[in-house]
Structure 1
Amino acid sequence: MKPGVVVVLAFLVLVLRVSLSSASDDHRQKWWKWPSSSQAGKSICSSVVLPLYGNVYPQGYYYAQINVGYPPRPYFVDPDTGSDLTWLQCDAPCVHCTQAPHPYYRPNNDLVPCKDPLCASLHSGDHRCDDPDQCDYEVEYADGGSSLGVLVNDVSLLNLTNGVQIAPRLAIGCGYDQIPGPSYQPLDGVLGLGKGKTSIVSQLHSQGLIKNIVGHCFSSRGGGFLFFGDDVYDSSRVISTPMSRDYRKHYSPGYGEVIYGGKATGLKNLLVIFDSGSSYTYLSSQAYEGLLYLVRKELSGKPIREAVDDETLPFCWKGRRPFKSIKDVRKYFKPLALSFSSGWRSKTQFEIPLEGYLLISSRGSVCLGVLNGTEVGLQNFNIIGDISMQDKMVIYDNDKQTIGWLPANCDRLPSYDTISI
């Protein structure tokens, strides 16, 4: 892999150890009445929408803002469907913390005890507690980065799409010892959106606030939005495929096949995972080499050659003059797709247009935004990253156990009344 490659890869592979001002008369503030125990689990008909910032290139990552504590303070976090735990760099005091856009999170004294089910969900098997009054955690990511800390309860301020503002108490990680990996980005922490009990979505669902659904919409022009709940999309337009019953840890449709230019490639039996914590798409070594062969074959005899002097990504190509946009290279490349089994003799295709696997570098080259996952330690996993999910609403429905998608204008946030306090 060439130096200078910008990679964000937050796919979680291992959990290591245990151890208010008043509103105006014409816009009255709506207050949320907390659900009684009899209402718990009955989701109200509303969603949470968070704007996204950043891009795949040149910034290299998308991020959201969450507001935590009382009074609420802003933090920029990496929205990661590949991991469960939400954590913030924390002054507890901090042993090792990296550069961040905001002052480190100052925790309160509301520790999650070791016996709490949320603590148990972070650890495999029987976990022991050095201190029964607190839940220690340590998570490690695929790029070698890690966070060590303690679980705390704190208030998060959220706006629902029905105009109600809520401040649920959620368990988050106070990360006081971080080791940055090669894909480190200067953010305040990670927003865990996975399937586990500690994920923000699972916690909001368990409190009866939303349906157990999370989704995102990354714009190829930068920005987009993230949502929890189901009232921001038309379910009749969603193309969906079942989540794998054999691989339940992450959002996986199971095994897929690469389609290139509308034709089967024979690159199949690929265990696929949708991971918003990864900027680029990764294929295991054999599939990656196979795709590279097909792309090079397609480019043979055309006025485009490899740009060995462009180190933006491992493989870039240049033409007779610098390319300005993907429109300039449409005649050279073909669209991609991944085909999944959706039932008896039924197939579903996740289509990836040229914008979903190519980018134009600052030097005017066109670069392949699909990387070799085996080289970065992903073994046989194949990751659909942000680049391939752009300009689509991707929906992870944990109630129906499906992954769905539909074309969308990700520049436009779902409309709802914004309430300010």
Structure 2
Amino acid sequence: MGPLFPAGILIAVVVFHATVVLSSFPATLHLERGVPASHKLKLSQLKERDRVRHSRMLQSSGGGVVDFPVQGTFDPFLVGLYYTRLQLGSPPRDFYVQIDTGSDVLWVSCSSCNGCPVSSGLHIPLNFFDPGSSPTASLISCSDQRCSLGLQSSDSVCAAQNNQCGYTFQYGDGSGTSGYYVSDLLHFDTILGGSVMNNSSAPIVFGCSTLQTGDLTKPDRAVDGIFGFGQQDMSVISQLASQGITPRVFSHCLKGDDSGGGILVLGEIVEPNIVYTPLVPAQPHYNLNLQSIYVNGQTLAIDPSVFATSSNQGTIIDSGTTLAYLTEAAYDPFISAITSTVSPSVSPYLSKGNQCYLTSSRFIF
């Protein structure tokens, strides 16, 4: 849901966990069953074994790791977004929020929201946060130092009549939301040293939405709010890091098949062999130095200056944007290369300004 600047293509990373043993050859590997065939375990026991195994992958050198479930897919014909479930308030209530690396703030629909959807085509229950029903909730005043954190991204506004710290967000697709900031408990499970610590919580500041417009109001893919994973101090990542709960880093893996899902943790995945690319420093978003584009093994003849990063250009990794966007100088040769590569049985055509390809079974954008 971040600004629709030219963006690179998001690539799902499949993570494998392997143990390598070095010895002289020939070598014999002895495999043993974790659970003997003669033994039977309850489903709850098997799930707990898998949970512990998963936790070993999520070790981090600084602080604990908070693991969130991931639902949704990249496919705009199915869902077209990735979302997770959070627990906020006292007692904890579930909220389903879109995962968005293109914005900074977590916000959810508030009990007094105007235009907020009340049902979702994603078959998830929608909730409204009510600060008055949570004894651990408190409003953020304009004089509160935490209100100034929102000024980093120029979204904080102050209502003089009630000294209440508010916000207004406008997203690249034209949708928007406004509301006020509250502080309450975020509940989570922390993985630390291979052990799962249940029922952890920490106070965080997040938005309580009282108005939504545009696509945010549509019930077909409605969620309770947006989970911003940006770099500013108001992000949940920064807030938990400042309390020493997690490191100021997150790991996000998007599954690219129809089953969707993936990995989302506050912390590092340190064991698997992962290829890294540096982020461009001093940028408001997660910018990369895109150097070239390959189609069918051939490098496209695109001037590298097209991908140069500045205050309003470059390649932004934005999990809240369903599609990849390219500048015209890169888009035209990219589409031409794809068109010349696809099978002759595929017919290219334009639909609402988008290059599409007609096959016997479905449309491919």
Q: TM-score, normalised by structure 2?
A: 0.70
Deviations 1:60-105 (A, max 9, x none): 22110001111101011001010001000101x2233223432311
Checking the alignment, whether the CA contact within 8 Å between 1:139 and 1:146 is kept in structure 2 is yes
| Cα displacement (A) at 1:239 | 1.6
Checking the alignment, whether the CA contact within 8 Å between 2:107 and 2:208 is kept in structure 1 is yes
- Gap change, CA 1:303 and 1:290, over 3 Å in 2: closer
- Partners of 2:349 and 2:155 in 1: how far apart? 52
Query: Which structure's relative contact order is higher, taking Cα pairs within 8 Å and 6+ residues apart?
Result: 2
User: Of residues 146, 151, 161 in structure 2, which corresponds to 1:118?
Assistant: 146
1:178 aligns with 2:212: yes
- Partners of 2:212 and 2:289 in 1: how far apart? 32
1:281 aligns with 2:287: no
2:2 is matched with: 11
Checking the alignment, whether the CA contact within 8 Å between 1:50 and 1:226 is kept in structure 2 is yes
Checking the alignment, whether the CA contact within 8 Å between 1:78 and 1:189 is kept in structure 2 is yes
- Gap change, CA 1:305 and 1:129, over 3 Å in 2: closer
2:70 is matched with: 52
Deviations 1:148-176 (A, max 9, x none): 00000011110012311311011010000
User: Of residues 303, 309, 315 in structure 2, which corresponds to 1:272?
Assistant: 315
Give the 5 Å matches for 1:17-416.
Answer: 45-57=63-75, 58-91=78-111, 93-100=112-119, 101-108=125-132, 110-123=138-151, 129-131=158-160, 133-161=163-191, 162-165=195-198, 166-181=200-215, 185-219=221-255, 220=257, 221-230=259-268, 232-234=269-271, 237-246=273-282, 248-267=283-302, 268=304, 269-270=306-307, 271-299=314-342, 302-306=343-347, 314-318=355-359, 322=360, 364-365=361-362, 367-368=364-365
- Partners of 2:300 and 2:171 in 1: how far apart? 31
- Partners of 1:149 and 1:158 in 2: how far apart? 25
| Cα displacement (A) at 1:309 | 10
- Gap change, CA 1:256 and 1:134, over 3 Å in 2: farther
1:339 is matched with: none
| Identical-residue share of aligned pairs (%) | 26
Q: Amino acid of the residue matched to residue 279 of structure 2?
A: M
In our comparison, the structure showing a higher alpha carbon Rg is 2
Q: Amino acid of the residue matched to residue 262 of structure 2?
A: G
Q: Which runs of 5+ in 2 are unaligned?
A: 6-47, 49-59, 120-124, 308-313
- Partners of 2:338 and 2:229 in 1: how far apart? 34
| Cα displacement (A) at 1:205 | 0.5
In the alignment of these two chains, the number of paired residues is 282
Checking the alignment, whether the CA contact within 8 Å between 1:310 and 1:316 is kept in structure 2 is no
Runs of 4+ in 1 over 4 A off after TM superposition: 124-128, 307-311
| Cα displacement (A) at 1:55 | 1.1
| Cα displacement (A) at 1:182 | 7.8
- Gap change, CA 1:121 and 1:254, over 3 Å in 2: farther
